[in-house]
Structures are given as structure tokens and as C-alpha cells.
Chain A
Amino acid sequence: MSSPARYTPYHPKWYRRRVSVWWWLETGSYTSFVLRELTSVFVAIFAVVMLWELRALAQGPAAYATFLARLKTPPFLALHALAFLFVVFHSITWFNLAPKAMAVRFRGKRVPDLVVAGLNYGAWLFLSVVVAFILLRG
């Protein structure tokens, strides 16, 4: 706004500041929020890779072996490492926010946030152990 102010007595002339396109860099919480939302991209990538794997399986052992070999190449390893970090970040932020979204009442009193989050983490750990057991035993 570089034109000189033209002011009419009694007429309100409010100022509206434009919100910068880099608004999400202004605070740690905003940046963390945007990264959290970006994790959805990596979850989508995981889903696509899984579909690709299923397709490779359907095409026979040779195609599957090629697929697995491709997964072991550096670019794919890097992508998976990055995706894993983002998905873990997604899970942690999800569990931490869960108590906010669910006001669980037990015997008339609100269950504390830490307990709700703790139960979520506990269930995650338990399921991870079960899955690891199944995978590693075979």
C-alpha cells in the first residue's frame, strides 16, 4: 500500500495486513502442525508402494523378486527411512492429540489426558510386539 492515505473525517479506514505465505514458519507449533499434515503424503506413498507390491506378487515370483531388489536400492531405502520418520511423527502427534478430541468420562469424572494418551501408546506398543512376534517367528 504505497498510495498516500486519504482520510475522510468520521469514515473508518481500517488496516488489514496480508497474511504471509510463509505464515507457517513463524512459530514452532505452526511448523510442527504443517509437518504433521505433510505426513499424510508419506502415508499415501506407503499405500501406493503396498499396492505395487501386491501387483508384483500377483505377477509371479520373478516379478516379486525384481520388486524386492528395487526396494533395496539406495533411493528407495532413503525414501522409506524418511517415510518411517514421518509416520512415527504422525503417530506420536496423533496419540498426543487424541485426549483432546475425546472427553472420556469414567465414573462421572473426566479421565486425565495423560491416561488417555498413555493407553493409546500402550496399545500401540502391544500391537507392535504382536506383529513383530508373528513376523520374526516365521
Chain B
Amino acid sequence: MELFSCDVLVVGGGGAGLRAAIAVVESDPRLRVAVISKVYPMRSHTVSAEGGAAAVIKAGDSLDEHAYDTISGGDWLSDQDAVEAFVKEAPEEMLRLEHWGCPWNREGDGSLAVRPFGGMKVQRTWFAADKTGFHMLHTLFQTTLKYDSIQRYDECFVTKLLVDEGRCQGVVAIEVATGKILAITAKAVILCTGGCGKIFPFTTNASIKNGDGMALAYRAGAPLKDMEFVQYHPTGLPFTGILITEAARSEGGWLLNKDGYRYLQDYDLGKPEPKPVLRSMELGPRDRLSQAFVKEQEKGRTLQGPYGDYVHLDVRHLGEKVINKKIPFVRELCLKYENIDPVKEMIPVRPVVHYMMGGISTDIQGATPFPGLYAAGEAACVSINGANRLGSNSLPELLVFGSRAGRAAAAFARSQPETSPPVLLAAHDEESRLEQMLGRQGGKEKIATLRAEMHRAMEESAGIYRTESALGQAAQKLSELQDRVENLSLDDHSYTFNTEMTSALELSYMLDLAQTIVYAARERRESRGSHQRTDHPQRDDQRFLKHSLVFRGENGTPRIDYLPVTITRWPPGQRVYGR
């Protein structure tokens, strides 16, 4: 085992993690900060975000309006003090990124350009071509290269948080290329590991989104907040999960079931017109479209494919010229990554999991209730997104809370003594556990089988519509899978770049998190935002205007508690669909 130490350790090298690292260095250049990530930072999933990032800069817009859009979009589960801080700091953070070189799109006169985005009443979404996340991540990564004091541990897989004297004091990680175990002690740890969409079978998320940080915090005793809120995007390709942007529908695409019928007209979303009508039919709110899909599925009117059920998105009637001019990216994605030409064929689509509103519970400084442990980005839940996230809010969130968590962690680290020796004993225990897991022979279970069963349980029970009984069944199934994963043995016993070992560790993280989602969903007996219960279809502010907290119980099963929502200036109202 090799030992390293630093003052602040950032786990995860995506938008939030890199921004946090820069914030630490800028707040105090004498602090030693390290970024540890299981992939090279430019591979982080921030890279695939396309749409844009919202911040108030144009005349005719105001912070209060951005705040209101966010809070009402979140179905009033957002902490309003956090939202107010967020909308205030977002423009400054995005401007700072522009100064660091981010190639934002411009107006003719050279000023920053904004464009409309679903859920935002006023145009405030900044964008960099159709690759906003890509440009933001690469700008942040290249800016971190400027600071020699930012140490990086690339392709190192964190397996455990080191805890002693009631505070977080570092991590144990596997250096994947060599199999060597590293113990990195730190005075403060910031978790920026992203969401856990891979718990579900159909997701836009990359293979690396397994909720590592969330599970690490959960196992160390920190609470997870609002895990039951899982955001779906109504149109994603069934196999790869690649997102087909809303633009394909706003230009006039139709959603057709297996009979070639525009089924949305049956779900109180207006009448089919030849041209697209705002807020009607295919341009209705995302969650209503996803719900319509599920209802069609129950009626047996969706198509059945080798990867699951789907419906068709038809843009053929727009013609090749319009497609190439208005939605060239959609055509390119379908052709290059799925071998489908939208000009000639209908695109198979279905709702896909896109974002986790829930995560590690933090306050508005990015601190978890666990001393020395901080979190930011999709891995954290402050919460600003509440029960449903508005599009183009997650990218500025990375910057605002990445920066806040970095500063808070830096301040904490300055005040702390060196790490205590018992921590290293815990690191040795972890090393033994990993050695055992690597060398185990004769187990009967396979990773792919357990993963598929977890997927099926989550899709059937914790999908778009949930019921008490289905969630109960899922809880049982997940408990069974947790037992079976003990009997897992690997084919690959090598030390060198063993990705089967890391997949097994990721699977165990996902099972823990799947349980938290299911338990939290079962206890929330109301429908709010993206959490829809057919047995409790109404929103219940009396009983449930509060965040769910999930703690790891004594025997490993989740224990639920609650935290009130901070309301400052906007009392709960009706979430009006469309404006």
C-alpha cells in the first residue's frame, strides 16, 4: 500500500470537481489540493451535456425570475435560500469561465448570446454550439493545468472513505493501472462524482455514472437527500440511451405508437395539428410525455424491440433540407452511433433516465453533516433542483457549488490538525478486503446477471409511475441481490487494469443506492415533480413539504428521516404546466 497526503482531496474530475480544485488553490495557494478520478478528467460525463447553462445577464431578466422558475419547476421542494444564492452567483461563475476561455456563442456585436430553454420564462441559457458541457469541461480542465499545486491521481478508483474521530480524513483507492492500493489522507474531502443513472436500464448516462461518491458517503454515515427524485427525458434512443433533443419535436416531429397514431392526443395534451403548437402535443412538459409513454405501454400499444419497449419519433415529413438545417446534430447522432437515418426511417425513442435530483445532503456551503466531508454537483443535493430539475440549471450548479464547496473545504482544512494514525489501520483493513475480493474463487454469480436483475427491478418498480406494492417488491429483490453479490467471483484476478474488479465495486455501489431510492420512494406517499405515485396521485404539502433523508441503518437497510424545506419568499403554489 502506498501512502499519500494532501490538505484537500477532490474525488471526481468533472465540472464540479475541477471547479472546486481551482477554488481551493485560489483561496489559499499554500494548500495542497489533489483531484482523484477513476477516469481521466476530460472523460467525465460533464462532457456530454449539450443544451446550455442558465444565468441572468440580459436586460429584461431578473434574479427573482430565474429563482421563481427554478423553485416552481422543482415543485416547491427546492431550498429557496440555496436557490437565491445560486441564481445570484451563476452569472459571475459563468463569466469567470468565459474569462478562462470558454467559447460561449456570441451575438453579432461580440456580447454573450442566450437562447430559450424549456421551463425558463425568459431567455437566459448561455450555450457553446451544441456542446456546452464539452466546452465547459475542457476549459476547466485546461485551466487546472495552469496550477502546479493541483496534484492529480488519474484512473484511481476510490473504494472507501477513511473516517476517524467523527470526521472524514481521506480515502482508500485502487490505482487501476497497477492494482496498487493507495491511502490518501486529507483534512477535507469533496465528493464530486456525479449521479447514478446506470442503476436504470435506459439512461443517457455514461457507463461511469454509478454513484460512487453517493455510496461512499452513505456507507460512511452521511445522509442522502431526496433520492426518490429521478428525472426522465422523454426521447432517448432505447439501446444507447443517447438523447434526442427537444428541438426534434419543436421543429415538428411526431410521437407515434405502434399503430402509427399520435397517441399524445389521448392524454389531455391538445389536438394534433400539422404544425407544432407550443405547450401542446409533442411540445408538452417532459414528465407528461414520459407518463403518456408508460400508459401506452400498459395498454400494449408500444412497439417491442430487442432492448425493450419503444415508440417512434417521426421527422421524415420535415424533409431532408429542414432536417439538415435545423436539427443536423440529431441526424448526425442517429447515423453515426445507431446506424439510423431520420430522413428515411422513424427514430425509436423511449423515456430515459437523465438526472438524479437527489444526492449527498449538503448545506448551501457544500458541507455535509459529516465534518470534513463536502459534496458538489449532481452527486450532491443542496437542494436547488427540488423535485424536478429545469434544463440548463445543472451546468451552472457545478460551478456555483463546486466553488462554494472548494472554499468551505479549504477553510476547514486550514483549521484542522494532521490526520490521526488510526486512520491507517482502517486503510489496511480495506486493503485486505479488496485483496480478498480480487482473489475469491468459485462464486456462482456473474456481474452482468446481477446488474440486469437490478435494472429490471428498478425499471418495473421505481420508474415513472410507482406504487407501494411494486416498491415493496423491489426492496425485497434488491435485498436478495445484496446477498447474492457476496457470492460474486471474478473471472479476472489480475492486478493490471482490472476493469472487472472495478465493475464489481460499481455494482455494489449501485445496489446500495438502488435501495435508498426504493425506500425513499416508498415512504414518500404523495406525487410531486418527477416522483409519481399512482396510489397517491396528489401533492401533499401538509405531510410532505420536506426533504427525505436516507441513512444506512444498523443491518444495512436504509432508514428514512426528514428535513424541512427552507422557504424564504415564495410560498408553495401550483406548478402550472407551460406558461
A binding-site residues for B, Cβ under 8 Å: 9-13
Contacts and interface: CB of A to CB of B under 8 A. Distances in A.
Contacts of B177: 12
Contacts, number: 11
Nearest to B180: A10
Interface residues of B, number: 6
Nearest to B496: A12
Interface of B: 177-180, 495-496
Contacts of B495: 9-10
B14 to A, nearest CB: 26
A9 B179 CA distance: 8
Contacts of B496: 12-13
Contacts of A11: 178
Contacts of B180: 10
Given A10-B179, A11-B178, 9 more contacts: A9-B179, A9-B495, A10-B178, A10-B180, A10-B495, A12-B177, A12-B178, A12-B496, A13-B496
Nearest to A9: B495
Contacts of A10: 178-180, 495
11 contacts: A9-B179, A9-B495, A10-B178, A10-B179, A10-B180, A10-B495, A11-B178, A12-B177, A12-B178, A12-B496, A13-B496
A32 B180 CA distance: 46
Nearest to A11: B178
Contacts of B179: 9-10
Nearest to B177: A12
- The 10 closest A-B CB pairs, nearest first, are A10-B180, A10-B178, A12-B178, A9-B495, A10-B179, A12-B177, A10-B495, A11-B178, A12-B496, A9-B179
B543 to A, nearest CB: 55
A56 to B, nearest CB: 62
A71 to B, nearest CB: 56
Nearest to A12: B178
Nearest to A13: B496
A60 B495 CA distance: 81
A10 B438 CA distance: 14
A93 to B, nearest CB: 30
A13 B177 CA distance: 10
Nearest to B497: A12
A13 B179 CA distance: 12
Contacts of B178: 10-12
Contacts of A13: 496
A10 B178 CA distance: 5
A9 B495 CA distance: 7
A14 to B, nearest CB: 9
A11 B177 CA distance: 9
A11 B494 CA distance: 12
A9 B178 CA distance: 8
B555 to A, nearest CB: 36
Nearest to B495: A9
